[in-house]
Amino acid sequence: MSIESLLTFSHPRQSQTASTNDITINNLLTCDMKRKWAEPSLSVRKKLKKKSKVVCYYGAVAQKSYGSEKRFLCPPPIVQLKGANKEMELSMSILCEDNDILEQHTALDEHHSGSFRYLHVTGTAKAKQFKLQLNLLQNESSFASFLSKPISIISKPSKKTAKTSRNTSTCILANSPVSLFNRINSQTVRTKYMTCDHNRLCAKNTTWSPFDVIVLCQPKQVVITKQSKSSPRYNTSRLQLPKTPVSYLTYGTEIILRESRTGLSSPPLILCKVDRGRLVESAYGPVSQMQKIALRLASSDPQHPVYLSAAGSMSSEQDTHQTWLDYSPSRKLEQEEIDDYLCWTIVGIHTLEGEFDERQPTTPSSPPPEQPRLVNPYPYLTHLQYKPETNTLEAIGQHLIQAAPVPRLLEPWLGTHGPLPTRIASPPETHTPHEIHWSIDLSSVKQQTEELPLLLVRQDGLVYHTGKSLKWDQEGEGWLCK
């Protein structure tokens, strides 16, 4: 439908004596909503829509990259679809206010799963968080999008014990899902993630699993406090137990790791702190995100402890990327030295879940039906002001650029006048990200008494109603924005 036909469309409730110049934005929107469409039958509606479920697991924190060094999201986000079409594709984007949008595409495997191994956050001094946007694609067009929780950005893993009173996002919560990965000589290509296969724990470099941390026994933390100096016994100490209930995972805790999807559980393990390849004895306090830990078998002899190891045998000759997990002793010198195979990095995991209606393929007709045009994202204006000295309309809005097939600004029309000349204005120092500051030239628009709607037109002819209109003020000799 062209702009001229929209403006001259006769509303069903409009009287015969009404002028066509009385058509406003509200009339146009009402006309569009009142349009009659044939209601599909129940059997057709069942074929058109099918309820499917999407689950995405991703890390609660991420390290920023510096220069040419790319620190990929670890663990990489994984997506599981249930009841969906195998031909569906996935894309994931990093949304950060200080950076350009980084996007990666992937296809579903035979298990209806997909992972994003090459997403990273570039170095920035301002951004403290970012989000992930998951898009479901069919025929190269997005039909469903999901947004993650905010993910904290850290420069490097903290070597100190986390302080829960300052920043809870740096701590691992008790009884919450985590990911554990093993890395040899700090090499990314030699990274293996804990998962399970054939009812056994194993380590793979191609996939990973979230594990629920089940707390069995929390150590009693002892706080040493000195008495006041006014007391004659000020140099003596007394023992005090913490008053607040434990909600964070702490060192020395006896835990069980339970795979979130299959329910496979490990034997009881004791969480130990590792620093520079050595075991930190008597460590206590909350566990930080991306901290290096060792998992000691609780039933092993304290004099000869054994730890969960990723140096086990390969599962088969055909699958050289899978290692069965076993238990190995440490090297005991003055302190227990922990080999790289015994050292695990722990990261908290967030879960994104959602449902969507998948359009099922229908029997092709002759000729084939035209592909529906997507109208999202919908452009909108947040600010509109007329400047009489330059006869321009200053506008601020979002989604004013059509990305495909060629990136191009939407064309502004004022009634039947258009497209109007535009200029991108420089935004102020403090402005909302992704906003466009627009200057629209109105010199070609004749002064009229009727109210003219402000429309935005896409390359393919699709017209967006902004909900704004302009009317010439005879007394003030200028355009009034409504």
CA dist 385 → 234, 380, 393, 422 (Å):
71, 15, 6, 14
305 and 390 co-located in one domain: no
Q: Are residues 184 and 297 in the same domain?
A: yes
* Residue 140: inside a domain: yes
What pTM value is reported for the model?
0.60
- What was the pLDDT predicted at 102? 82
> Which residues does 477 contact at the CB level (< 8 Å), separation at least 6?
388
pLDDT at 295: 94
Q: Decide if 27 is inside a domain.
A: no
CATH number at residue 320: 2.80.10.50
Same domain, 412 and 467: yes
Q: Per-residue pLDDT tens for 267-302?
A: 999 999 998 888 888 788 899 999 999 999 999 888
Q: What is the CATH number of the domain that holds 80?
A: 2.60.40.1450
Q: Domain tally for the chain?
A: 3
Could you count the other beta carbons within 10 Å of the beta carbon of residue 255? 24
Of the candidates 176, 262, 208, the one whose C-alpha atom is nearest the C-alpha of residue 79 is 208
Matching residue, tokens 């321009």: 392
Pairwise CA distance, residues 329 & 337, whole Å: 10
Q: Are residues 198 and 141 both part of a single domain?
A: no
The residue among 300, 332, 350 that closes a domain is 350
Instruction: Answer yes or no: do 400 and 257 share one domain.
Output: no
Cα dist from 339 to 30, 184, 316, 344, 411, whole Å: 71, 9, 24, 10, 63
Looking at the fold, whether 250 and 123 belong to one and the same domain comes out as no
**What tens digit of pLDDT does each residue of 435-452 get?**
788 888 887 777 666 778
CATH number of the domain enclosing 425 = 2.60.40
**Whether residues 116 and 205 fall in one domain:** no
**Domain of 427, in residue numbers:** 380-481
Alpha carbons within 13 angstroms on the beta-carbon side of residue 239 total: 4
Same domain, 60 and 146: yes
Three-state DSSP class for residue 312: coil
Q: Verify that 80 and 142 share a domain, yes or no.
A: yes
The reply to whether 334 falls in a domain is yes
- Report the pLDDT value the prediction gives residue 33, as an integer from 0 to 100: 42
Amino acid 239: pLDDT: 42
Distance between CA 10 and CA 20 in Å, rounded? 7
Same domain, yes or no: 195 and 137: no
At residue 50, the pLDDT reads: 62
Question: In this structure, are 324 and 388 located in the same domain?
Answer: no
Distances (CA, A) of 135 to 103, 141, 354, 477: 10, 9, 12, 49
321/402 same-domain check: no
Q: Is 363 exposed, middle or buried (0-12, 13-18, 19+ CB in 10 A)?
A: exposed
Last residue of a domain, one of 332, 350, 368: 350
Beta bridge partners of 55: 80, 353
- Report residues of the chain scoring pLDDT below 70: 1-50, 86, 98-100, 123-125, 158-169, 221-246, 312-321, 330-335, 358-378, 403-406, 428-434, 447-449, 476
